[in-house]
């Protein structure tokens, strides 16, 4: 029994274990709040509503329907993973990227012209979208390092500039814009710009939005993990983020690393746009607000403990709840209930770091009490 207690005690001292526990706690609280809301709306159907939200694809009796919807959830989680990685990279550099929506937007502009308009190869469109996102992000990075402009302020302003720039250009160009529906043409499976399925669609009942993009995002997440864990560049970015002055004193250029971090972050935001539009399940719509995915990426990043592998699971969880919530309308519930649940989780995810710190302080307190008891016994 003591061995088991010692095992769990040593496990809880690890940062990864603390991250998992606090993230699960936030998710559980969000689900409890959601269930209480369902009870208030319709107590008789609340259980079925929560089952639909949590079950997602599992509620379908037909195997093909389950596979199709599961594939759809996986494919829609991929852009959110990319966006959360974008937030994560900047955070490691000591920056808070609130400009990810703008970087996403300018990538959409490139995809619309090169993909929907010119029908260029998918990989070329994807690379161009990532470059566009990187360049837009580096504007905020340059303002930060050369003029000491807070990246939160510049990022928010660049979001609006990008939004109206993209809206204005696309709405004025009939070759890539369907003015009747106020949206860019969807990139279908027959288009050269559509990300290939590489046969994965057959595993998910022929769902054409499932494909190479899901594999690429996993490769990118692992690459970001390796970047910060094993490479000099990743170490220097973290050093510059922890203490820029100390990094400069040690010969690590704060300017260079912030610009590198913002470029990588923007490229990932552009990658998110590529995974969204080039998979063919969404298109850009004229909007009066920046894309929501830029802010959803923040919640996924924090819920995932700001870890490249953790955000894979947190992003899927958020998308799983969102997609499941879209199916509760038949029970008399508004699909916005799922949004409330994810919003609560998003709010609580901001406390992940706080809860981890509380656990750390509790651990230190226990150690001090243990030392006091040992000293007392010695006397």
Mind listing the pLDDT tens digit for each residue in 244-295?
A: 888 888 889 999 999 999 999 999 999 999 999 998 777 777 778 899 899 8
Per-residue model confidence as pLDDT tens digits over 30-42: 888 888 888 888 8
- By CB atoms closer than 10 A (0-12, 13-18, 19+), residue 169 is middle
In the predicted model, residues of the chain with pLDDT beneath 70 are 1-16, 18, 173-185, 335, 346, 349-379
CB atoms within 10 A of CB 329: 12
Confidence (pLDDT) at 257: 95
Distance CA(260)–CA(83), nearest Å, equals 17
Cβ-count burial 350-369 (b if 16+ within 10 Å, e if not): ebbeebbeebeeeeeeeeee
* pLDDT at site 54: 85
How far apart are alpha carbons 234 and 366 in whole angstroms? 34
What pLDDT sits at residue 359? 62
Angstrom distance (rounded) from CA 105 to CA 157? 13
Predicted model pTM:
0.87
SS3 annotation, the chain: CHHHHHHHHHHHCCHHHHHHHHHHHHHHHHHHHHHHHHHHHCCCCHHHHHHHHHHHHHHCCCHHHHHHHHHHHHHHHHHHHHHHHHHHHHHHCCCCCCCHHHHHHHHHHHHHHHHHHCCCCHHHHHHHHHHHHHHHHHHHHHHHHHHCCCHHHHHHHHHHHHHHHHHHHHHCCCCCEECCCCEECCCCCCCCCCCCCCCHHHHHCCCCCCCHHHHHHHHHHHHHHHHHHHCHHHHHHHHHHHCHHHHHHCCCCHHHHHHHHHHHHHHHHHHHHHHHHCCCCCCCECCCCCCCHHHHHHHHHHHCCCCCCHHHHHHHHHHHHHHHHCCCHHHCCCCHHHHHHHHHHHHHHCCHHHHHHHHHHHHHHHHHHHHHHHHHHHC
Beta bridge partners of 328: none
**Which pLDDT does position 260 carry in this prediction?**
97
């Amino acid at each position: 029994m003591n061995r088991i207690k010692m095992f769990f005690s040593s496990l809880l001292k690890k940062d990864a274990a603390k991250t998992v526990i606090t993230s699960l706690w936030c998710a559980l609280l969000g689900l409890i709040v959601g269930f209480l809301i369902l009870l208030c709306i319709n107590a008789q159907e609340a259980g079925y509503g929560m089952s639909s939200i949590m079950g997602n694809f599992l509620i379908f009796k037909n195997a093909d329907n389950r596979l199709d919807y599961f594939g759809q959830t996986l494919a829609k989680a991929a852009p959110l993973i990319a966006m959360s990685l974008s937030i994560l990279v900047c955070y490691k550099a000591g920056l808070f990227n609130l400009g990810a929506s703008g970087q996403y937007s300018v990538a959409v502009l490139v995809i619309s012209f090169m993909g929907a308009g010119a029908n260029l190869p998918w990989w070329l469109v994807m690379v161009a979208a990532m470059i566009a996102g990187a360049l837009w992000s580096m504007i905020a990075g340059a303002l930060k390092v050369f003029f000491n402009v807070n990246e939160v302020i510049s990022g928010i302003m660049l979001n609006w500039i990008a939004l109206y720039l993209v809206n204005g250009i696309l709405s004025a160009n009939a070759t890539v814009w369907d003015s009747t529906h106020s949206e860019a043409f969807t990139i279908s499976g027959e288009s050269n710009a559509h990300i290939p399925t590489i046969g994965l669609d057959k595993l998910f009942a022929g769902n054409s939005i499932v494909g190479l993009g899901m594999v690429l995002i996993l490769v990118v997440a692992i690459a970001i993990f390796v970047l910060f864990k094993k490479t000099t560049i990743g170490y220097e970015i973290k050093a510059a983020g922890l203490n820029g002055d100390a990094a400069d004193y040690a010969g690590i250029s704060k300017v260079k690393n912030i610009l590198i971090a913002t470029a990588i972050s923007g490229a990932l935001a552009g990658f998110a746009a590529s995974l969204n539009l080039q998979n063919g399940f969404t298109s850009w719509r004229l909007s009066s607000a920046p894309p929501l995915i830029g802010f959803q990426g923040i919640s996924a990043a924090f819920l995932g403990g700001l870890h490249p592998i953790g955000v894979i699971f947190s992003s899927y969880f958020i998308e799983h709840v969102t997609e499941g919530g879209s199916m509760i309308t038949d029970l008399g519930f508004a699909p916005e209930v799922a949004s409330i649940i994810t919003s609560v989780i998003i709010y609580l995810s901001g406390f992940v770091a706080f809860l981890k710190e509380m656990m750390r302080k509790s651990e230190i307190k226990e150690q001090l009490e243990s030392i006091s008891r040992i000293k007392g016994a010695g006397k």
